[in-house]
C-alpha cells in the first residue's frame, strides 16, 4: 500500500468539514488512517500516533475512532465486538478475514455474491450491510 499524499492540513480540513473539532490528537489519528490506506486496529493506530505524540492515551484513541465511525469518516469492521478494525475506504465492499493470520482483505461488493443466506431472526440482510467472510485456510 503506497503512502498517499495526505497531509495534516488535509486531515484538519477533513475534520472541520465533518463538524469535528480538529484537535492535535484527532488530526494525528486521521492522518495515520488516511495516509496509509489500510485497515487498522486501535492499537496499531495508537502505535503510530505515539511515534509523534507519545502521550496519547488509549481512551482518546478509542473515543476518536468511535467518533470517526459515527461521523462516517471511517468504517468500523467488526470481526467480533471485542475485535474491531477501522477502514478509511468507504467504498462499497466487504471483507475477508483470515483467522490464522489476522489479515483483512477487501472484496469489492460487485465481485462477490452469496447465495443461500437465511434471513436473520430479527432483521434482513439489507443493502449497505457489511459482510465479513471469515475463512480458515486448511491446516497443513
Which residues of the chain form contacts with a second copy (CB under 8 A)? 78-83, 96-99, 101-103, 105, 107, 111-118, 120-138
With binding defined as CB under 7 A, does residue 17 bind DNA?
no
The item of a second copy, DNA, none sharing an interface with residue 47, based on CB under 5 to 8 Å by kind, is none
To the nearest whole angstrom, how small is the minimum distance from the Cβ of residue 115 to DNA?
30
The item of DNA, a second copy, none sharing an interface with residue 1, based on CB under 5 to 8 Å by kind, is none
Q: Which is nearer to a second copy, 37 or 96 (CB)?
A: 96
Q: Which is nearer to a second copy, 5 or 81 (CB)?
A: 81
To the nearest whole angstrom, how small is the minimum distance from the Cβ of residue 126 to a second copy?
4
With binding defined as CB under 7 A, does residue 103 bind DNA?
no
Nearby residues of 137 by Cβ (< 8 Å), 6 or more positions away: 98, 100
CA distance 79 to 97: 8
Q: Which is nearer to a second copy, 59 or 114 (CB)?
A: 114
Q: Which is nearer to DNA, 35 or 56 (CB)?
A: 56
CA distance 71 to 14: 11
Full DSSP string of 31-86? HHHHHBTS-EEHHHHHHHHHHH-TT--HHHHHHHHHHHHHTTSSEEEEEETTEEEE
Instruction: Answer for the pair 90, 97: CB distance below 8 angstroms, yes or no.
Output: no
CA distance 126 to 124: 5
The item of a second copy, DNA, none sharing an interface with residue 132, based on CB under 5 to 8 Å by kind, is a second copy
Amino acid at each position: 500500500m503506497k503512502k498517499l499524499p495526505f497531509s495534516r492540513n488535509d486531515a484538519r480540513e477533513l475534520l472541520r468539514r465533518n463538524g469535528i473539532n480538529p484537535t492535535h490528537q484527532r488530526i494525528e489519528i486521521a492522518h495515520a488512517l488516511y495516509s496509509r490506506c489500510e485497515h487498522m486496529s486501535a492499537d496499531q493506530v495508537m502505535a503510530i500516533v505515539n511515534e509523534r505524540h507519545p502521550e496519547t492515551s488509549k481512551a482518546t484513541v478509542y473515543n476518536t475512532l468511535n467518533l470517526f465511525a459515527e461521523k462516517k469518516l471511517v468504517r468500523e469492521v467488526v470481526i467480533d465486538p471485542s475485535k474491531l478494525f477501522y477502514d478509511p475506504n468507504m467504498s462499497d465492499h466487504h471483507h475477508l478475514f483470515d483467522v490464522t493470520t489476522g489479515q483483512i482483505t477487501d472484496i469489492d461488493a460487485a465481485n462477490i455474491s452469496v447465495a443461500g443466506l437465511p434471513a436473520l431472526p430479527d432483521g434482513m440482510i439489507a443493502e449497505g450491510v457489511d459482510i465479513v467472510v471469515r475463512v480458515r485456510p486448511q491446516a497443513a
